[in-house]
A and B are shown apart, each in its own frame.
Chain A
Amino acid sequence: MSGQTDIMSGITDMNKEFLTVLKSLFFVAVAATAGAVLAILSVRFHMPTGWVGALALIIWSIWARKNWAHIQAQTGLEPSGPERVLRLRAAGTALLVGHMLAGLSHLGLDLHIGQGNYLAIDSWTMFAALLLAGIFFRHDEAIRDERDDSITARGTKAGYLSLIGMLILLLSLLGFLPVHTLENLDYFTLANILVAIILLSITIKYTMQLIGYAKDTEAALTMGLKND
């Protein structure tokens, strides 16, 4: 009987852990999807949409600070300074990655500024907003301890491995795809693909870090461990 209880408890723990991972992935996926949608709308309607993403990022930053203050008062399990900064960077990077990948999916589109689309301006607008939103969390970065470094190390490992993996994949494609398939791939597009790969690996790094923090918080919530 106690064995059955242990098994059920183990399954429940696994479900909780899975949900925790899912929440972090969902957060990043929403930001990336938003970026992709903005890029698609920009190309379709020939209008800049980067300001929408920029505004959303800044509004989210303001809302997040208020939400964390509420969590602090309720459970004492609000994110630490480094985690807050990480969440902003994860959201902003995912937004840019989604935007960039959606832009690159429009084959033949000249991504240079002033070539009939606003994709480049939109990217830089959202990047500027990411820097601006960082001001809201500037003071939160004050303390960074060994646990933060440990979580960062795991994220960095995942980011590095994904970067190498994607570069190997790209090199393989460049080496083995038929010549006529690569005819549309000019240097500028290739450079943008490389930027997208770098941003994607950074997003993977941040996502792994988010999962690390989320698991710790979930464990504390499960144990009913509040600020005392």
Chain B
Amino acid sequence: MTDVEIGNYLRKHRFLQGEMTQAQLAKSVGVTRQTIVALETARYAPSLELAMKLACVFDCGVDELFFWKNPEEAKANYHFKGSKS
């Protein structure tokens, strides 16, 4: 696991949801509490399925939960590079 380019608002949403604990969130989405810790420290980027499960728990969109740490760099790196016919 390395520091990933994607951040998240998991911790913020947990506290907004009546101070949900890491263990409660982990149980809700079927992962270990240590994985929630790894997510919150941005050491691990979840799979799309896990990201959607987390978004479901907080009743929000995936893009409200996860974000690029450096949006400009992301836009520069990830854009359509072919020619449009």
Residues of A within 8 A of B (CB): 76-77, 79-83, 143-148, 150-151, 212, 215-217, 219-220, 223, 225, 227-228
B40 within 8 A of A: yes
Cβ distance A113 to chain B, nearest Cβ, rounded Å:
42
- Interface core residue of B3, B35, B46, B47 (most chain A CB under 10 Å): B35
- B19 → chain A, closest Cβ, in Å? 8
The verdict on B50 contacting chain A, using a C-beta distance below 8 Å, is: yes
Q: Is the CB of B41 within 8 A of A145?
A: no
Contact B41 A219 (CB under 8 A): yes
Given A146-B46, A146-B47, A216:B30 Cβ within 8 A: no
Structural contact, B34 and A83, CB atoms closer than 8 A: yes
| CB <8 Å contact, A143 and B31 | yes
A220 touches B44 (CB 8 A): no
B32 within 8 A of A: yes
With both beta carbons as reference points, the residue of chain A lying nearest to B29 in the complex is identified as: A145
Q: How far, in whole Å, are A150 and B34 apart by their CA atoms in the complex?
A: 14
Of B22, B30, B34, the residue contacting A79 (CB under 8 A) is: B34
The smallest beta-carbon distance between B16 and chain A, in angstroms, is: 14
- Distance to closest chain B CB from A133 (angstroms): 21
Q: Apart from A216-B1, A217-B34, A219-B3, what 13 extra A-B contacts exist at CB < 8 Å?
A: A77-B34, A79-B34, A80-B33, A80-B35, A143-B32, A145-B35, A146-B46, A212-B1, A219-B41, A220-B37, A220-B43, A225-B40, A227-B22
A interface SS class: helix
14 A–B contacts from the bound complex (CB under 8 Å)? A79-B34, A143-B31, A145-B35, A146-B46, A147-B34, A151-B1, A215-B43, A216-B34, A216-B43, A216-B44, A219-B41, A220-B38, A220-B40, A228-B19
Please, how many angstroms separate the alpha-carbon atoms of A79 and B32 in the complex? Answer: 10
Name B37's contact: one of A77, A144, A150 (CB within 8 Å): A77
Known: A80-B32, A80-B33, A147-B32. A216 touches B22 (CB 8 A): no
Q: Report how many A-B pairs have Cβ atoms within 8 Å.
A: 68
Nearest to B20 among chain A residues (CB) is A228
Chain B: residues with CB nearer than 8 A to chain A? 1, 3, 19, 21-23, 30-35, 37-38, 40-41, 43-44, 46-47, 50
Contact A147 B23, beta carbon cutoff 8 Å: no
CA distance A116 to B44 in the complex (A): 53
- Asked if A216 and B41 make an inter-chain contact with CB atoms under 8 angstroms apart, the answer reads yes
A79 / chain B contacts, CB cutoff of 8 Å: 34
Contacts of B33 in A (CB 8 A): 76, 80, 227
With a CB–CB cut-off of 8 A, which chain A residues contact B40?
220, 225
